[in-house]
Amino acid sequence: MSRYPSRIVCLTEETTETLYLLGCGERVVGISGFTVRPPEARQKPKVSTFTEAKFDRIIELHPDLVLTFSDLQADIAAELMRLGIQVVGFNQRTIEEILQMMLVVGSLVGKSSDAEVIVARMEKGLEAAKTQAAAMGRRPKVYFEEWYDPLICGICWVSELIEIAGGVDVFREKRIERGASGRIVPQEEVLARNPEIIIGSWCGKQFKKQVVRSRPGWDAIDAVHDDRLFEIRSSLILQPGPAALTDGLRELVRVIRSVC
């Protein structure tokens, strides 16, 4: 019997991506239907959405470990444990917690040293972006919209990445809210804070600029008036894993520096 798990089901993308980066893609036997990274993982059996799981299908895969994410999958995790399956749940919301998740996943599969190398590389990339941002002439005000009805501003790691990329998150104080309900903002408040850039990343949906432009009074916002409305795909920035800290950060840097 192997000392480490060899049949792993990942119910969100970021642990799947981490395992592939660690060279353990062959150990992944089931994934979330929302997984897009890495592309080759899409060939694995899809056993869940974000809040629902096919328990019979998971059992058929004979996993020796299931990895879950956040309180929204707590009921799924509890049912899997009642079924006798080993479960490890993550709940990362900050950049530091994302990096910790990657280290823990590495330790779970006997790849601690490899995980440390990957995390060090990502930390180097974050520091490089921060250094480049420090040399910018100014830091534009950014409103990141995670959802449109109600308006929900960016989660903590997104807020942190905006600042690393050289922007100022106009709802920075909301980053301490771990749940989406705590990040609901009224339209009038966005108007009052007058962001210079609006970035939309509507979970799984296309960001529609015309919807933003049609909001009452928003034509007075600098970002709308100057047509500085941008989309970053949620698959790049809203998965709390490697993608956000690499491709997501690169997109934020591109957007923010296009204004500066």
What are the angstrom distances between the C-alpha of 149 and each of 145, 215, 257? 10, 12, 29
Predicted confidence at residue 1, as pLDDT, reads 55
* Same-domain status, 148 and 219: yes
* Same-domain status, 148 and 216: yes
Each residue of 190-216: pLDDT tens digit?
999 999 999 999 988 999 999 999 999
The chain-wide mean pLDDT, for the chain, equals 96
The answer to whether residue 96 is domain-embedded is yes
Q: From 130, 127, 172, 123, select the one nearest 256 (Cα to Cα).
A: 130
Q: How many domains does the chain have?
A: 2
* Same-domain status, 42 and 142: no
The answer to whether residue 2 is domain-embedded is no
Domain ranges, residue 185 = 135-259
Nearest-10 crossing angle of helices 13-21, 95-108: 60
How many C-beta neighbours within 10 Å does residue 120 have?
A: 11
Residue 260 clears pLDDT 60, i.e. is over it? yes
Share of the chain above pLDDT 70, in %: 100
Q: Report the C-alpha gap between 89 and 100 in whole angstroms.
A: 13
Each residue of 56-104: pLDDT tens digit?
999 999 999 999 999 999 999 999 999 999 999 999 999 999 999 999 9
Q: Report the C-alpha gap between 85 and 66 in whole angstroms.
A: 7
pLDDT band at 156 (very low <50, low <70, confident <90, very high): very high
- Considering just the CA atoms, what is the radius of gyration of the chain in Å? 19
The answer to whether residue 1 is domain-embedded is no
The answer to whether residue 147 is domain-embedded is yes
pTM: 0.95
* Same-domain status, 228 and 143: yes
Q: Report the C-alpha gap between 61 and 4 in whole angstroms.
A: 17
Question: Which CATH number is 60's domain given?
Answer: 3.40.50.1980
Q: Report the C-alpha gap between 55 and 11 in whole angstroms.
A: 12
Torsion of CA 106, 108, 111, 113, to 10 degrees: 60
Each residue of 104-149: pLDDT tens digit?
999 999 999 999 999 999 999 999 999 999 998 899 999 999 999 9
